[in-house]
Structure 1
């Protein structure tokens, strides 16, 4: 799944074409290549989405997160491209079912990066089975994927037992050797615990990312974040000064100032394996856990 991010068409061309080139010699892998977009950004500029739909290598699926996905799901359906829609609350489910989503990602508030603010969010452990139960009644052909706080085979096994058809792995995959995150940021994550993350709009303000309500951003709670907690209005008034310090932190890899995008499962990250090693280990752990449950 190539990240379309904020809809930068040049970035998407570079990354999607690189993925196609890498996978072209393995048709089975190429046939599984997809892309994801931030839905509210598409409402502002859909040029990257338009470009993607015009490619000869049609994406296997497109994921839409954070916003009203209805019109975009319809455009995908017109091209017979399955839509994966991410939700953070059960009351968001019927809209994406009615729109025609093929897969629902149920994202708990434990997740790193963007999600719904904590006062409205749900934990993965309760959101996933509720979504699975609703889908079983009204759209049994629709798959559900658990997201948020899943970093090892225990979490994947739990997701399956809760009724999910699979899991989306974010923070743990971020801390693999292939990840483009800096090696120093990964070491900061390894040293952290799940108690050390926080969800807020502060790093979006510092980065100039104008995220709408009710979404915010989970990351490690570092010194710069602590400085501005509860002072978001003042931060906006002094944004030039504060952003300069943040950007200096990014440039120098000073993670007392720059952000590290991980969720509450960061306390389960202890190394930086390859992606293949991570998946192999998670599958093995999952089988062991499910086998243990069967024996019990």
Structure 2
């Protein structure tokens, strides 16, 4: 059976699976491959860097004739970044982590689907108010950035589904195989937004050492923290922390974030260690489902595998 949902019908995609628009990972080749596979590929537009977007938008536009989109960090962009993307006719634009109101109207006026990621119920209500066509409910199991005081995916998703109905919801956080996709649908979501699993694919922009760390990683080794954002001089709002695999600087400064923030020499030491190659240039963003990642497929094949697994799980569950 094909898994047809409100999300697949709205976006015109074959499977209820979307690529999380991960900065540094979800480039044009990965987004295009996910879309070719029948999911919705979302380019990781991050802070709207003009040069990066110009390069990767060309790659995704040339790489697929199927629907694709772009994701941005709401706190880090301006309207110009959105305008530059809209001229490429994406099917969707996703806004995460911050106020979507300065950009929502322009996206909807362009006839582009507005996807808003939320980490709490206040954000979910705001997403409805700005006219989101799809809402992503992100649980704390997710890799990368999320709410400091969020809720786990299992209880959070159905609460959001009930709150925002009839707007379709995608579940995010801790989903790395077809069982997770099936679980999202069972919770009332119209699909799943998948991140860490797609980092370990042939088209991902991450380097070989990061892929190796993900394949060998364990969920118990992940931790949500702000230490690495502080050390890197990142401007992420304090509301959001990041789930990563272990890191030497995290071990050194865990629980001493205020001290680290006030110590310019410690932050300089971090940058010096990165420049010497003693530390990786970026943390390894990874969610709690990282244990389930054991191979390096093409992203298009992975979409098909996730969909087939989900169909099988739901068919077997229907026999109980």
TM-score (norm: length of structure 1)? 0.88
**Secondary structure of the corresponding residue to residue 106 of structure 1:** strand
What is the RMSD computed on CA atoms of the aligned residues?
Answer: 1.8
Matched, 1:50 2:83: yes
**Given that residues 108 and 123 in structure 1 are in contact (C-alpha distance below 8 angstroms), is that contact kept between their aligned partners in structure 2?**
yes
* Cα offsets for 1:132-165 (capped at 9, x unmatched): 11233xxx1x110000000001111100000010
Q: 1:165-200 CA distances to partner (integer Å, 9 max, x unpaired)?
A: 000110000111211111111111222211111111
Asked whether the 8 Å contact 1:192–1:266 carries over to 2, the reply is yes
Match runs of 1:1-296 below 5 Å: 1-23=42-64, 27=65, 29=66, 32-42=67-77, 45-53=78-86, 55=87, 57-117=88-148, 120-136=149-165, 140=166, 142-246=167-271, 248-249=273-274, 252=277, 254=279, 258-296=282-320
> What is the aligned length?
279
Show structure 2 runs of 5+ residues with no match: 1-41
Conserved 8 A contact 1:9-1:47? no
Shift, 1:71, TM fit? 2.6
Q: 2:255 and 2:136 mapped to 1: Cα distance?
A: 31
CA–CA separation in structure 2 for the residues paired with 1:270 and 1:230: 32
Structure-2 separation of matches of 1:77 and 1:273: 35
- Distance across 2 between alignment mates of 1:207 and 1:269: 27
Sort the Cα spacing of 1:272 and 1:158 in 2 relative to 1 into closer, same or farther, 3 A.
same
User: Is the CA contact (8 Å cut-off) linking 1:247 and 1:258 kept in structure 2?
Assistant: no
Distance 1:246 1:155 in 2: 37
CA distance, structure 2, for counterparts of residue 291 and residue 204 of structure 1: 43
Bigger relative CO (Cα 8 Å, ≥ 6 apart): 2
- The 2-side partners of 1:181 and 1:240 are apart by 29
Post-superposition Cα deviations, 1:38-87, rounded to whole Å, max 9, x if no partner, equal 00112xx333222223x2x3111100001111231111122122110000
